[in-house]
Amino acid sequence: MYQAAKKDEYAGGRGAIDGRPPVAPPFAALSASVDALPATDPQQADLAAGRALIGQWIGADTAVPMTALKTHATVTRTVHGAPLIDTDGDGFYQQPGLALYERWREILQHRVFDDELGSFVDALHYDPAPGANTGDHGGGDTQDSVLVHALSGFSPNGRRTIDYFDDITTPGHETAAFQLVESLRQAMAELGDCLAPTPTTCRHANHLNVFSSLGAAPSQTIGQTRGGVDRGSYNQIIELAPTLFSVNVQPPGQSGLVNAALLAQIEATSGAQQRAILDQAHLTDQLELYERFEYKPMPFTLAEVMAAQ
């Protein structure tokens, strides 16, 4: 789960693939508004191209090499839609449409809601906070919920919503289409080179996962060369039959078990030497496994547990 499943919630479902109809997501509303732009708008072609770039990200299928659990063979799996994957390891996600979507969405948030709600409008937190493994991706309880209802015109109880799209500080009436398009115009201007063949400013650094240490050991970060992952930090799989098979992975390791002597050792070293000590103490030796969606054998029967003592 390269965070893609959560991303779909606000970017919209993909019907036949994920069974979720693309009902009034922000992108569909943006797309319709761009289609309705008059030909007299001098930026019509660029805005349509920016919209297409976001659409490319939302619709992208990404092949990801993975390791089969039992056979350890290399298999290829496809991540459908709104990928957050760095496939070439340069620290940036592959699709510039992601950078444009997130900047557009942030601008839209403030254009639409700041005038009515002021300091109650929070920034959108897409990066998982240190110690957490999910960001503000737009589930039913996050800020996208308010936007989606504002776009539909109805709140969950069926009543009409406030027309948040009007800017109450101006005498004229601003429409949803106006705000959606102007936010895209502003995002493309800010990000600069979204329509370039190889954007350098319109790109999105990888999300990272930071595991806060429970003890005194330093926090550990993964995702620099692949992109963070969005799942619980303890994963366990047990198959009871026909042959017992049990594996698990826990990336923060035994980070709570650092005594003063070990801490002194850690602090006296750096780089590869420090990492070797951290691995030896089982603080970091599962990080890469977790990042690659791999597991380690887990003693399960009494005999296996005794043998592992």
State the residues that interact with Ca ion by CB under 5 A. Answer: 86, 88, 90, 92, 115, 164, 166-167, 170
Tell me how far, at minimum, the Cβ of 121 lies from Ca ion, in Å: 10
C-beta of residue 229 within 8 angstroms of C-beta of residue 223:
yes
Residue whose CB is less far from Ca ion, 224 or 274 = 224
Residue whose CB is less far from Ca ion, 90 or 304 = 90
Tell me how far, at minimum, the Cβ of 67 lies from Ca ion, in Å: 21
Which value, to the nearest 10 degrees, does the dihedral of the CA atoms of residues 13, 15, 18, 22 take? 10
Residue whose CB is less far from Ca ion, 47 or 84 = 84
Residue whose CB is less far from Ca ion, 167 or 285 = 167
Residue whose CB is less far from Ca ion, 8 or 166 = 166
Q: Are strands 74-80 and 209-211 parallel, antiparallel or unpaired?
A: unpaired
Tell me how far, at minimum, the Cβ of 83 lies from Ca ion, in Å: 11
What distance, in Å, lies between the first and last C-alpha atoms of the chain?
33
How far is Cα 78 from Cα 14, in angstroms, rounded to an integer?
14
Residue pointed to by tokens 């770039």: 53
Tell me how far, at minimum, the Cβ of 93 lies from Ca ion, in Å: 6
Tell me how far, at minimum, the Cβ of 216 lies from Ca ion, in Å: 34
Closest chain position to Ca ion (CB): 170
Residue whose CB is less far from Ca ion, 126 or 295 = 126
Tell me how far, at minimum, the Cβ of 64 lies from Ca ion, in Å: 13
